[in-house]
Amino acid sequence: MTQHHEPHRLVIQHMDILETAPKVVDEVERHVFSVIDEKLRQWEASRKDWEGVYNLIADETSFKPKAWENSEDGTYRAYFGLGSDSSVEHAYYLSALTGMVPAKFGIWFCVDVGWVTRLGGKGGRPGTEWKKFLAEQFRSRRLGEFGFELHGPDLLLPIRVDAQALADHYPDSLTDALAPVDEALKQLEAAAPSIQGLLDTALQYPFGNGR
C-alpha cells in the first residue's frame, strides 16, 4: 500500500471512533469554550462601561467599550472578538486553539471598514484604505510589543493552549490549562489605550484624500 493511502487505511480501521467523534468534539468544545467565555465575561465585568456577548460555539463572543458606536440594529461597528482565522480551512475552534491546524486563534480587533473610512460607492476602496492606515498605526503605536499581529484588515492577539495540558486538566480543572487566555487578557489590558487612540485617529482621518 502506498504512503498516499495510509490515511485511508487508518480511517477504515477506526470508523467506530470516527462515527462518534463529531458529537464528542462538540461536547468538548462547548465545555472548553464556556470556560474561556466566562474568563472574558469576568474580565469585561471588572471594567466600567464595557459590554459584550459570550457564547462562541452557539453564536459569537465579542466585547467592547460601550462608547464605541453600534449600528442601528445593534451590531458592533468596532469590537474585540474571540475566534479563529476563517481564511484557513479547519473544522473546529479547538484545533486552532491548540495549534493542530495552521489557522490562528485568539482575540481579534475588528471594525466595520465602510463605517470607519466613510468611503462607499464605486472607486471608494475602503478595504485598501483601511489596511494601509492600520499597518501604519500598527507600526507607529508599536502594537506588536503588546503581542498583537497585523492580519489583513484586523489585529490579532494570538492564544495558543497546550493540547496535552488541556487534556490533562479536562474537564474539572481547565482554568489551570488556560493560563494563556489570562496572559492574553493582560496584554489586551495594556494595549487597550493604544487601540482606543487608533480608533479615535481613524474616525478623524481623511480617508480617500490621496494620502
pLDDT range class, residue 1, cuts 50, 70, 90: very low
C-alpha–C-alpha distance, residues 127 and 102, integer Å: 25
pLDDT range class, residue 126, cuts 50, 70, 90: very high
Range of the domain at 114: 25-204
- Is the residue at 150 inside a domain? yes
C-alpha–C-alpha distance, residues 132 and 62, integer Å: 25
- Is the residue at 129 inside a domain? yes
The domain total for the chain is: 1
Cβ contacts of residue 211 below 8 Å, gap of 6+?
Answer: none
C-alpha–C-alpha distance, residues 126 and 102, integer Å: 28
Taking alpha carbons only, the member of 173, 195, 180 closest to residue 68 is 195
Instruction: Give 136-182 as a DSSP string.
Output: HHHHHTTGGGGT-EEETTEEEEE----HHHHHHHTTTTHHHH-HHHH
- Is the residue at 157 inside a domain? yes
Q: Residues 125-151: what's their mean pLDDT?
A: 97
- Is the residue at 98 inside a domain? yes
Among the residue ranges 86-90, 117-121, 152-156, 205-209, the one predicted with the least confidence is 117-121
- Is the residue at 7 inside a domain? no
- Is the residue at 19 inside a domain? no
Average pLDDT across the chain, whole number: 94
Q: How far is CA 135 from the centre of its chain?
A: 18
**pLDDT by residue (tens digit) across 146-179?**
999 999 999 999 999 999 999 999 999 999 899 9
C-alpha–C-alpha distance, residues 208 and 211, integer Å: 7
- Is the residue at 87 inside a domain? yes
